[in-house]
Chains A and B, each alone.
Chain A
Amino acid sequence: MRFKIGIDVGGTFTDFLLTRSDGQSQTYKVLSTPKDPSIATMQGISDMARDEGMTLKDFLRAVDVIVHGTTVTTNAVLTYRGAKTGLITTQGVRDALEMRRGIREEQYNNRYANAVPLVPRYLRLPVTGRLDYAGKEITPLDEAEVRSNVELLKKEGVQAVAICFMNSFANRDHEDRALKIVRELMPDAYLSASVDVLPSIRFYDRVSTTVLNAYVGPILRRYLQNLLKKLDEAGFPNVLLIMQSNGGVVSPRLAMENAATTLLSGPAGGPVAGIVYAGVQRYDDSITMDMGGTSFDCALIKDARPFTTTVGEISRLRLALPMLNVVTIGAGGGSIGWIDEGGLLRMGPQSASSDPGPACYGLGGEEPTCTDADLILGYLDPDYFAGGRMKLYKDKAEKAILEKIGKPLGYDLHEAAAGMYRVINVNMAAAVREVAVQHGQDPRDFPLVVAGGAGPNHACMIARELENPVLIVPRESSIFCAAGMLMSDLKHNFVRTYPVLLKDADRKTFQRLFEEMKKEGTDLLDSEGIGESEIVYRYSLDLRYVKQYHEVEVEVSAEEVGLFNVLAMAAKFHPAHNALYGYSLEEEGTPVELINMRVVCIGQTEKPEFQQQDFAGEDPSRAYKKDREVYMPLQKEFRKVPVFDGLALRFGNRIEGPAIIEQVNTTTFVTGEFNVLTDRYGSFTMYLKDREDEVKRRILA
């Protein structure tokens, strides 16, 4: 027997998916250990070995690959516990990092302070030396000044050094020379040069991203070295891969060099998993939504590819690396309900998190949360929460909801809980709509892939708000991201800036830049054991109409690049602009301008095979548990509905809504508008009743 393991370290739980070569799979959840996250990781692996009846050493020898997603870099930034970092930058612009272009996100709030910079001003050291807009040297680099600055940083005990010079995207010479000096004087420091991290135009984006990379570099390096050592000592001889924010995986060595690529990797496994679960039912497009304890993540997938963005932020700091575009809002089981000054009901973004948690946990929480409302409405069973391992206190939920919501609104308990349920559903639907609109898509056209402990409870009503007819609840929905990690490929992104009218672009320069990036990617993947023939290259251009400021990324084919077919490349831009922003200027003959060129190099990994079930007929009665009183949000009344054991449902089993499906870590509420069909991998598809034929065709065929 051979195994693969996906591990997702979250704030509260570390999730595991173990897949076996016989197609069986098993999920695990272990409480996270924030001080040293590798403890929970090793704990989970030991649990698996035990359940397989093997010694840890024998088990690890049979594990081909471990894919690991970690939030150590994310947390280092969120809590400002990264490395002491210095910045060497061009004379005159050292404050760009802190100024953030002068934004105050809350315009009317005079108590809203600026984000604290990751490098304080006294460690942001300017040097003489200047390149012009095209990369031509105007003032030579003063190497003696670089030296004295590095000595200063060394004296200050800096562990990481970031280097970012004006216009270095067009000429890396000055940064290379500065790098050499730092390497010589501070051989142990973590180095991060903007020409390596993000060689593209826009100074603030570049300096912010380069500094983030430096700030978390030593943290990730320490963490991964520790984990590798533990795995090595336990006898693991095979491959460890690390999840990145771009939805791909990477070797630990490269992850350490480009630590910032892991910064928003937490939710990045979700869209990858979404592609697979929706793909099984032959959907190329989908929206994934993952509702956990404090946050709700959603992402858009089109043509079996997730959308990416380069305008990410963490803690209000710009992170401009390509990453999956995941929209995150503060909505989860722990979201607190409150009444604003105008007497309107609001939910979140504050969360009761796990300490003290929702009122019904009985751990001292007094605020009414989403979980409390779900319990009152009957969607959760107080005796079967986390499979019965945790008791919920209905009386405490009642008290909190009545006092804080019911009384001020003049509502009874059920009206108040139902109101909370509706408001949070609308908040989540708005996030989904936002991610769709950002890419010019209509969310109604996409099936929703629903994940997270709390997601399936709310999914039908979110779908109703968005007018989506089909939802998929994966069998592994509670450890969705861990599953996605096992399905990810090795992936490296490259960018070069070449600002020119597309029609005036120089063929040689154009092709040389693409070749350079391709070679870099090929070399990296080679070092990760992927041969050139197994690599997929994707080329794209950031284009805009002349004089516009923002670009649209347009994918181009290898042939178009090879033939330098400028017309064909421009022709792809016009419809993309139209889809996004409602118009194109093709007919007017407006010239198209090139800004950035990008290459993604993908090294395909071997994916786990999940076991398929045999068709078991429509009748779900062997999974029937009992009836329960549940609140019907449309009829606004309680009704008895059947409760099913999700793990006992088999391929082909069909349930008519309203119903409840319980799994150990997830409860699915099916409203009366929907029916459910179980697919061959044990996932549930919920669909509006009039879509029955279509869904059956997809699932049963």
Chain B
Amino acid sequence: MSVQIDKVLVSILQRRLKSITEEMSIALTMTTRSPILCEAKDFVTGLYDAKGKMLEQTENLPILSFSLGPVCEYIVKYFGDEIYPGDVIFHNDVFSMGNQNNDVAAYKPIFHKDSLVGWAACKGHQADIGGAVQGGYNPNATEVWQEALRIPPVKVYEKGKLRKDVWDLIFANIRLDIVAEDMKAEIGSCVVGERGLLRLVERYGLEAFEAHKEYLFNSTEKMMRAELRSIPNGVYHGESTCYYDGKNPGSEYTIRVKITVEDEEIRFDYSETDAQTTGFVNGTYTSSASATVLTFLQMVNPDIPHNDGMVRPIKIIIPVGTILNAAYPAATTYGNHLCPNNADAIMRALGPVIPDRVTAEWNELLCSLTTGIDPRKKTPYVDIGFMGLKGGSGAIRGFDGYDHIGMIDASGGVLDQDYEMFEQQTPHLLLKHEYWQDSAGPGQWRGGLGVETEFVIGSDNTKVVTFGDGDVEPARGAHGGMDGTLNKIELTYPDGKYYLCTTKDLIEGVRKGTVYFQQAGGGGGYGDPFARPAEKVAQEVRNGIISLETARRDYGVVVDPETLQVIKDETKKIRSARPVKVL
């Protein structure tokens, strides 16, 4: 090609692509119905080139993000020369590069004149996707068919015409009618993306678009390689444990990663990871690879554009049959939630190598889902407890962890339900949603705070599903920082009996009046807590997020219970009793 590269146009192209995917994201937020999408934004929108290579994404929930591209490539191969203007393709199948059954994607090919120039796609977590249990989380599942309706690439529109038979087949297998509505919203969002990309191609011409896109990929790759150059060459090992597979109490599985940094490339090799489980605690290749990418992206310059060039220097090896890439036809709905464990393994490998860029550990996810019939409206409801799951992030050199941020796979991209909307949309009554005192791992920089959530369940015959981890091992502190706190969910029934949920539980027939209580733990601290300025500790005591006892025991700061001022001489005495390393 003889197009002269205009470097300024490359900047323009990147900015435009980003803003188009943001527009797609706005459209999807405003039109969807499931609170998982419109309130929590558990979705991603993106643009891809004709071959399916990532052009740009808006990643509200990054764990979904890095499978849209691979699936797009798969779709391009799957349909070959039978891709037409006006087609819309759905996909969720985890055995053809999908990340999770409930994450259903819509793809729309974009044609300029007669040639395919790219794809608009979005993928959101749907409130139901068939299978044995409403909402999809089924700890009893052993194969994919017990979890979900499989949707390999299928055209729901062809040449602009709705394939009513196909549409009806899909939605006849899904319980909630809002899912069909939310998939219409996904298609709408793709239309927004299509219009944007076409305007861009028409503005600059196809040839220039292609050439500058390639240049953009290359320049992004260059940025990523520069980041990689700053990590010392070497082979680094890390591992972490996943507790309880939902079937065998006390079971443990180890994720082992071998990270090889060689000049400007990085390789993540999970070959030594434990074999898959017999239940649904299994990853898919794309959910596990997404987890790897999003964890690593937190260790590099956050301004690197998200396109194909970014991932080129990153190689990921996850053998089929491991817990991170289960073989067909395993159950895998839990797979996205292996991300926090995976992140821990990576952080444990790289923490000692690039200590300034790796945080102490984050609170592991523990989430719940309640479903039932709202007695006020006599209609079904599904609620994913986003507000309850938001524990703290790990601290990093120079900065405290982020309070109440939630799982590392979303990193603050997923939001709490609004309390009053929660009480409109579910029959529950919220009693408490507050920072949890003393949950943060102490450190020179403390971990992020966890939260306590308490509500009264407002429907009879309610189903409570839990999924997650973090009730055995807390988020670990780093470089002298201390650990965060553990997760737990417990139910107190109207008769006063008490039930401690496991981390992969399915409790049916829960009665109205049952009190749901959850603690989401804090993140790990960074550096010696004795090095934290005493005034700062006293201020947090005053704010009630650290107790007097913790201030004294972990931080070595004595605070007057009346005036809430630091008692200087006593503090000095405690703090000088041992050597303190100030970072």
CA distance A346 to B303 in the complex (A): 12
Task: Tell me whether A545 is interfacial, beta carbon within 8 Å.
Answer: yes
Contact with A along B366-398 (1 / 0, CB 8 A): 000000000000000000001100100100101
Max chain B Cβ within 10 angstroms of own Cβ: one of A91, A344, A345, A434: A344
Q: Is the CB of A121 within 8 A of B545?
A: yes
Interface status of B185 (Cβ within 8 A of chain A): yes
Do the beta carbons of B220 and A342 come within 8 Å of each other? yes
Asked if B10 CB lies within 8 Å of chain A CBs, one says yes
Residues facing A in B1-40 (CB within 8 A) are 7-8, 10-12, 14-16, 19, 22-23, 26-27, 29-33, 35, 38-39
Any A CB within 8 A of the CB of B543: yes
The segment from A62-70, A384-392, A418-426 that touches chain B is A418-426
Q: Provide the residues of chain B in CB contact with A499, threshold 8 Å.
A: 424
Contacts of A701 in B (CB 8 A): none
Q: Answer yes or no: A120 CB below 8 A from chain B CBs.
A: yes
Query: Taking the complex as formed, is B416 at the interface, i.e. its CB lies under 8 A from any CB of chain A?
Result: yes
Q: Evaluate contact between B399 and A106: CB separation under 8 angstroms.
A: no
Interface size on A, residues (CB 8 A): 67
Which one of B27, B294, B386, B434 contacts A582 once the chains associate, using CB atoms below 8 Å?
B27
Instruction: Decide: A113 near B402, CB < 8 A? Known: A96-B433, A343-B219, A582-B192.
Output: yes
Task: Assess whether A433 is interfacial by the CB under 8 Å rule.
Answer: yes
- Contacting residues of chain B (277-313) with chain A, CB-CB under 8 angstroms: 294, 297-298, 301-305
CA distance A573 to B133 in the complex (A): 36
Q: Beyond A340-B303, A342-B304, A550-B38, is A121–B23 a contact (Cβ under 8 Å)?
A: no
Q: Which residue of B lies closest to A581 (CB)?
A: B31
Is A426 within 8 A of B12, CB to CB? yes
Q: Which of A101, A341, A437, A545 contacts B418 (CB 8 A)?
A: A101
Q: Are B192 and A111 in contact (CB under 8 A)?
A: no
Closest beta carbon of chain A to B80's beta carbon, Å: 29
The reply to whether A433 and B421 form a contact with Cβ atoms under 8 Å apart is no
Chain A contacts with B in 407-433, Cβ cutoff 8 A: 409, 418-419, 422-423, 426-427, 430, 433
Q: Identify B412's interface contact among A104, A169, A343, CB under 8 A.
A: A104
Given the interface pairs A111-B399, A114-B403, the reply to whether A203 lies near B420 with Cβ below 8 Å is yes
* Contact indicator per residue, chain B 216-227, by CB within 8 Å of chain A (1) or not (0): 000110110011
A95 close to chain B: CB less than 8 A = yes
Residues of B within 8 Å of A95, CB to CB, are 404, 433-435, 451
- Tell me, yes or no, whether A173 is within 8 Å of chain B by CB: no
Q: Which of A109, A201, A341, A433 has the most CB of B within 10 A?
A: A341
The reply to whether A99 and B416 contact each other, CB–CB distance below 8 Å, is yes
Q: Does A571 belong to the interface (CB within 8 Å)?
A: no
A 81-100 binary contact with B (CB < 8 Å = 1; else 0) = 00000000001111110110
Nearest chain A CB to B33's CB is how many angstroms away? 4
- Docked-complex contact B23 and A434, CB < 8 angstroms: yes
Q: How far is the CB of B455 from chain A (nearest CB, A)?
A: 10
Residues of A within 8 A of B62 (CB): 107
Asked if A547 lies at the interface with its beta carbon under 8 angstroms from chain B, I say yes
* A101-B302 in contact given A111-B398, A426-B15, A430-B16 (Cβ < 8 Å): no
Contact (Cβ within 8 A) B434 A345: no
Q: What mask results when residues 107 to 134 of chain A are scored 1 for a CB within 8 Å of chain B, else 0?
A: 1111111100000111000000000110
Does A204 count as interface, using CB distance less than 8 angstroms? yes
B382 to chain A, nearest CB (A): 11
Q: Tell me which residues across on chain A come within 8 A of B8, comparing CB atoms.
A: 345, 418-419, 422-423
User: Given contacts A96-B419, A109-B302, A342-B223, are A430 and B19 in contact (CB under 8 A)?
Assistant: yes
What residues make up the interface of A, taking CB atoms closer than 8 Å to B? 91-96, 98-99, 101-114, 120-122, 132-133, 138, 166-167, 169, 201-205, 340-346, 409, 418-419, 422-423, 426-427, 430, 433-434, 437-438, 499, 545, 547-550, 577, 580-583, 585
**What 7 A-B pairs have minimum CB-CB distances, sorted nearest first?**
A104-B412, A342-B223, A92-B432, A121-B543, A549-B38, A582-B188, A107-B411
9 new A-B contacts at CB < 8 Å, known A96-B419, A102-B390, A344-B10: A92-B433, A121-B544, A341-B222, A342-B305, A422-B12, A426-B16, A433-B19, A581-B188, A582-B188
